[in-house]
Amino acid sequence: MSRSISCNIAKLMRINAFSLSLLMGLTSSFVQADEIDNFLRGEMVKRKIPGLQLAVVKNGKIVKTASYGLANIQDNIAVDDDTIFSINSITKAFTGVAVMQLVEQGKLELSAKISKYLPNLPVEWQKITVKQLLTHTSGLPDIMNSNNGQLISNDGAKASWRMVKQRPLDFKANTQFRYNQTNYLLVGKIIDSVSGQNFIDYITQNQLRKASMNRTEEAGFSNLKDVIKHSARRYTYYYGSGKIANIKAADFPEFLRTTAGMSSTATEIANWVIALQKGELLNKPSSIETLWTPAVLTNGKTKGFNNLLNGYALGWPVVGRSEHPSVAPAGGDRAAFFVYPNDDLSIVVLTNLMGAIPSHFIDEIAGFYIPEMKAANGFGLPPTIKTLWKALESKGYKKAIQVVEELQKTNQLKFAEDELNTWGYKLINQKKKRQALEVFKLNTYLFPLSANTHDSLAETYWLLGQTKKAVVHYKKVLGLKPENEHAKEQLKKLNKT
């Protein structure tokens, strides 16, 4: 949703040494401080996250819950297991379950044209299917302005609804994936129509109460505007000053409650996932399979937000991969949970920082339960890169060029510049700068005319304090791409040192 924020709160504070000490705080209902706690403390410091909640489900039971840091910086209020967090677009996962409940009841068909349920729509919209709405493949114009996260009309909800209906389709249905709130606006109208209930009442009665989500029910569906007792305040660093600030309250109309607006706790979401997998929310195993199967476009591929969340199912982003695939609802760049169906494992992470992006480190938490999923063990690397990783772990990273030449001859392997570059930065994040340096040197060897490979190598030399070598490669960047402003700025800084 919107990244717009308010004016600086009075005497906005950076997270100072005192605040960081509060981040170290931990309350846990199940265990004393362990490796996961230490890992999460480190992520909170690195990402400057004020407060975080965790819940882990293994084999159908919650095996760990923990709360860290501050729910409210201004008043030094700590996070506890009952603190409510905004979950934003995770709301769509609940909407997807609601749709499948209605499918099981015979009231709704995923393949049906939406005109079957909503007859008074623009002609161009009528052939779009329910499934295409849920998977963001409809091609409908968006009722939200992607530049500022606000409705497309300054005159409010009704005017925006009139305006969006007058706009042409953005693309032919099922040819592209484009995240879009109009889709779920219509899904909400369909749920209202076929269930005979308001969407909020339907979700409350058929999901929240069945999963005993009392705190979630109390919080309601308008957290982006309302004041909620015992809740975490929302923060961001996206403001230009680089300081932490409150996120501006957003007044989204009721017809967008299917897209965002819910709040919950990590424990209650964990219990909801358990109820879903135990058949307490959906009766048929095939319903969950349908819920979690990503849409396939006309080109035969799936598409999602990025290389990790590379598919989108019925309100559920999908991590499609051969090893440990998962479904992974995420919201507001601050909350996410991953369900690993093949491993009987689920991990919920809620934070109060827009920009924390927990989807980037949940797999690493999973690695504490499934060691092969640790990044240090090569998890998440593309097949070609993983083959190279195994060879370099055995023969040494300084032999990277020699090893690649052997692999190219014997295994006919081809290496992609972007995959090597991504791996190099993963190594830096693992505090393996020396190994990353050899990977970036390899990349410049394989792709000597790429400004990007030299930029990454220069940055790594700089991180290692090898200024002269950094300068050499930033100059190579400018030789290949004279307009590169980043290289110009870096050379100015380095020439002063």
Q: What is the pLDDT of residue 28?
A: 46
Nearest to 188 by CA among 204, 203, 210: 203
Q: What is the pLDDT of residue 253?
A: 79
pTM of the model: 0.87
- Answer for the pair 313, 291: CB distance below 8 angstroms, yes or no: yes
Nearest to 53 by CA among 25, 24, 88, 81: 81
End-to-end Cα, the chain, rounded Å:
42
The per-residue pLDDT string of the chain (497 residues; one tens digit each, 9 = 90 and over) reads: 333 323 333 333 343 433 444 444 555 444 445 899 999 999 999 999 999 999 999 999 999 999 999 999 999 999 999 999 999 999 999 999 999 999 999 999 999 999 999 999 999 999 999 999 999 999 999 999 877 778 999 898 999 999 999 999 999 999 999 999 999 999 999 999 999 999 999 999 999 999 999 999 999 987 666 788 999 999 999 876 778 998 877 667 788 888 888 999 999 999 999 999 999 999 999 999 999 999 999 999 999 999 899 999 999 999 999 999 999 999 999 999 999 999 999 999 999 999 999 999 999 999 999 999 999 899 989 999 999 999 999 999 999 999 999 999 888 889 999 999 999 999 998 899 999 999 999 999 999 999 999 999 999 999 999 999 999 999 999 999 999 999 999 999 898 76
- Answer for the pair 244, 12: CB distance below 8 angstroms, yes or no: yes
- Answer for the pair 273, 60: CB distance below 8 angstroms, yes or no: no
According to CATH, the topology of domain 108-199 is Methane Monooxygenase Hydroxylase; Chain G, domain 1 (1.20.58)
Q: What is the pLDDT of residue 149?
A: 75
Q: In which residue are the tokens 């060879």 written?
A: 391
CA 23 to chain centre: 22
Q: In which residue are the tokens 């499609």 written?
A: 320
* Residue 189 CB burial class (10 angstroms; 0-12, 13-18, ≥19): middle
CATH H-level, domain 381-496: superfamily: Tetratricopeptide repeat domain (1.25.40.10)
Q: What is the pLDDT of residue 84?
A: 97
Q: Where are the domains of the chain?
A: 17-92+218-374, 108-199, 381-496
Model pLDDT for residues 383-405, shown as the tens digit of each residue:
999 999 999 999 999 999 999 99
Q: In which residue are the tokens 């840091």 written?
A: 69
Q: What is the pLDDT of residue 223?
A: 61
Residues whose CB falls within 8 Å of the CB of residue 193, separated by 6 or more in sequence, listed in order: 117, 118
d(CA 264, CA 215): 7
- Answer for the pair 266, 54: CB distance below 8 angstroms, yes or no: yes
Q: For the chain, what is the radius of gyration of the CA atoms?
A: 24
C-alpha angle 355-233-68 in degrees, rounded to nearest 5: 75
SS3 labels along 74-138: CCCEECCCCCEEEEECCHHHHHHHHHHHHHHCCCCCCCCEHHHCCCCCCHHHCCCEHHHHHCCCC
d(CA 115, CA 127): 7
The DSSP result for 280-322, as a single string, is SS-S-HHHHHHHTPPP--TTS----SSSSS-EE-SS-EEE--S
* Rounded (10°) angle between helices 433-446 and 417-429: 170
**How is domain 17-92+218-374 classified at the architecture level of CATH?**
3-Layer(aba) Sandwich (3.40)
d(CA 72, CA 280): 35
